Structure 1
Amino acid sequence: MNLDPDLDLGLERIIRAPRATVWAAWTDPSRLKRWWVPAPSHCRVDRLDLRPGGAFVTSLSDDGTTFVPHMNACFLAVDEFERIVFTNAIDSTWRPASPAPVAMTATITLSDHPGGTNYRTVVRHGTPEARDHHEKLGFAEGTGTVAAQLAAVAEGMR
Structure 2
Amino acid sequence: MNPDLDLTLQRVIRAPRAAVWKAWTDPDRFAKWWLPAPAVCRVDRLEARPGGALVTRYSEDGVAFVPHMDAAFLVVDELERIVFTNAIDSSWRPATPAPVAMTAEIVLTDRPDGTDYRVLVRHGDPAARARHEELGFADGWGTVTSQLAHSVEEEAGP
Is the shorter-chain TM-score for this pair beyond 0.5, marking a shared fold? yes
Q: Which of the numbers 76, 79, 84 marks the counterpart of 1:78?
A: 76
Q: Which amino acid is 1:71 matched to?
A: M
* Structure 1 stretches lacking a partner, 5+ long: none
TM-score, scaled to structure 2: 0.98
3-state SS, counterpart of residue 74 of structure 1: strand
Cα offset, 1:114, TM superposition: 1.6
Cα offset, 1:115, TM superposition: 1.3
Q: Which of the numbers 62, 65, 81 marks the counterpart of 2:63?
A: 65
- Between the two proteins, the alignment pairs up a number of residues equal to 156
Q: Percent identity?
A: 67
Matched residue, 2:141: 143
Q: Which of the numbers 124, 127, 135 marks the counterpart of 1:126?
A: 124
Rounded Cα–Cα distance in structure 2 between residues aligned with 1:108 and 1:63 = 29
1:1-158 to 2 correspondences below 5 Å: 3-158=1-156
3-state SS, counterpart of residue 103 of structure 1: coil
Write out the 4+ residue segments of structure 1 that deviate beyond 2 Å after TM superposition: none
3-state SS, counterpart of residue 155 of structure 2: coil
Rounded Cα–Cα distance in structure 2 between residues aligned with 1:67 and 1:31 = 18
3-state SS, counterpart of residue 84 of structure 2: strand
Cα offset, 1:97, TM superposition: 0.1
* Structure 2 stretches lacking a partner, 5+ long: none
Over aligned residue pairs, what C-alpha RMSD do you find?
A: 0.5
